[in-house]
Every structure is written in structure tokens, then in C-alpha cells.
Amino acid sequence: MTAVVYRLSALVERRYKIPDMSLKAFHLIFVTLLTGLSFGCAAWAFADGRPLFGALAIATGILVIVYGIYFLKRLKKISYL
């Protein structure tokens, strides 16, 4: 049974090559996209006349930036690859 699972795993890995990404690189991409999304939603909310939602989106964007800085400082010694 184990040999079958191993062969199937190797076949899937060969067919669908998934690139390796470090946790640090993933967080950097995630924080960048989430920050852009937050500020984009803020602009949309202000343009639509919803200042409360716009302010909440700006606060969320700022919190995401703070989290990103905290995370990068914490993993300063780990490479991006």
C-alpha cells in the first residue's frame, strides 16, 4: 500500500510541479496584496459615500503594514528563497 501511495505522489509531483516558496516570501506577497486591497476598498468606499467603511479599510491597511513590518523583523535572518 505504501509503495502505491509513493508512486502516486511522485506522479502527481512530476505532473504538477509546484514551485517552492518560503514562508517569508509568501508573507511578503500576502501583505502587499492585502494592503493594496485594503486601500483600494477604502478608495471605493469613499467614492461611494461610505466614510465609515473607508475609515475601517484604511485602519485595516495600516494594521496589515504594521504586521508585515513585525513579521519581517522577526524573520530577518531567514532568506526569501
pLDDT in tens, the chain (81 residues): 666 666 666 666 666 666 677 888 888 999 999 999 999 999 999 999 999 999 999 999 999 999 999 988 888 887 765
Number of domains in the chain: 1
Domain span at 25: 19-74
Residue 1 has what pLDDT? 60
Q: Is residue 47 included in any domain, yes or no?
A: yes
Residue 25 has what pLDDT? 84
Q: Is residue 11 included in any domain, yes or no?
A: no
SS3 19: coil
Q: How many CA atoms lie within 13 A of 15 on its CB side?
A: 6
Instruction: Record the cell numbers describing residue 40, joined without a space.
Output: 483600494
Q: Is residue 7 included in any domain, yes or no?
A: no
Confidence (pTM):
0.70
Residue 46 has what pLDDT? 97
Q: Is residue 12 included in any domain, yes or no?
A: no
Residue 18 has what pLDDT? 64
Q: Is residue 26 included in any domain, yes or no?
A: yes
